[in-house]
Amino acid sequence: MTNYLSVNNGIRSVLLPGMLSGFLLLSSSAIAAPAGTLEATRLKPSVQSESGKNRPGMTYTMKSISLIYRGGKIIHNNAKQPDENDAYCMCRYPVFYGQKSSAAVNKIVDDSIAESLRLGEHKNKGESIEILSKHFLKEYESFRKKQKSELPYQFDLNGKVLLNRSGIMTLGVYTTNYTGGAHGSNRTEYLVFDTESGKRLRVKDVFVKGFEKRLNQLIDTRFRRMMGLTKTERLDSEKGTLFKNSIQFNQNFALTNKGVSFLYNEYEIAAYVYGQTEVDLSFKELAGIILPGVRI
């Protein structure tokens, strides 16, 4: 059983209050690097389209790092799928360019990926994703020799742009990771950006002051409906599955075409067996607490 509900990829126009007022945001996708540019030669362009009526969203290309441990050494895998018994590290994620905020957005995305890749005592900051990917497999090599184990370390990360409008962008970073033990882990992190400044938006940036109590009530109501619970049944019961008799908003949220989704990863609010939990709230439900400019 899993509580995971997928986030729709269709996008509704969204505005940041104040900064973006006056712009009508129609459907617009991210734009691939033009042929012949430096970005296009270094990275694989994303296949996207541009709306001619409005300012486009952030421009990006997809970057791929694919390494595999084979024959006692780390080799580039040319983005091919490794065998299930291989130790590997694969990362596919967008790299943004062409706007004043691109460097700031890329820094936050890189930091998120780097945090997922760091293992053991390796806590140094500032290494590139390429270096950390190699270190991941070197850690496997060390583990394999010490423990005499053939169980492979495996890391697979996908970054997907879920919403891309002039002024605001939502990115989903999806990771599957195995470094020994009874099972691997799955993690999803949502990153919402103000594309004018490159700032990562938090919950307080999209809701009105004093939103907390009402938002938690809406999440509680929605979760109970998902689980078939009455208003009085405990959330920490066998039917409710949660660790505690409460569920509250967190900072792992996505702005979608229909509203706001809050995602809770494995072990955060429920046991591993229940997987991830995602609670979707519509703009209609959020009326009165979400900032007026967030949705047209």
* Structural domains of the chain in order of their starting residue, each with its CATH number: 38-200 (3.30.565.40), 205-294 (3.90.640.20)
- What's the confidence (pLDDT) of residue 275? 96
Note the helical H segments in the chain.
38-42, 102-117, 129-147, 212-227
Coil/strand/helix, residue 215: helix
Sign (positive/negative) of CA torsion 15, 257, 189, 51?
negative
Coil/strand/helix, residue 224: helix
Coil/strand/helix, residue 296: coil
- What's the confidence (pLDDT) of residue 77? 77
Each of the 296 residues of the chain gets a pLDDT tens digit; together they read 444 433 333 333 333 333 333 333 333 334 444 333 333 333 333 333 333 335 568 999 999 999 999 888 898 877 577 888 899 999 999 999 999 999 999 999 999 999 998 775 555 567 899 999 999 999 999 988 888 877 899 999 999 999 998 788 999 999 999 998 888 999 999 999 999 999 999 999 999 999 999 999 999 999 999 999 999 999 999 999 999 999 999 999 999 888 999 999 999 999 999 999 999 999 999 999 999 877 75
Question: Does an H or E element contain 14, and which?
Answer: none
- What's the confidence (pLDDT) of residue 124? 59
Is the whole-model pTM more than 0.85? no
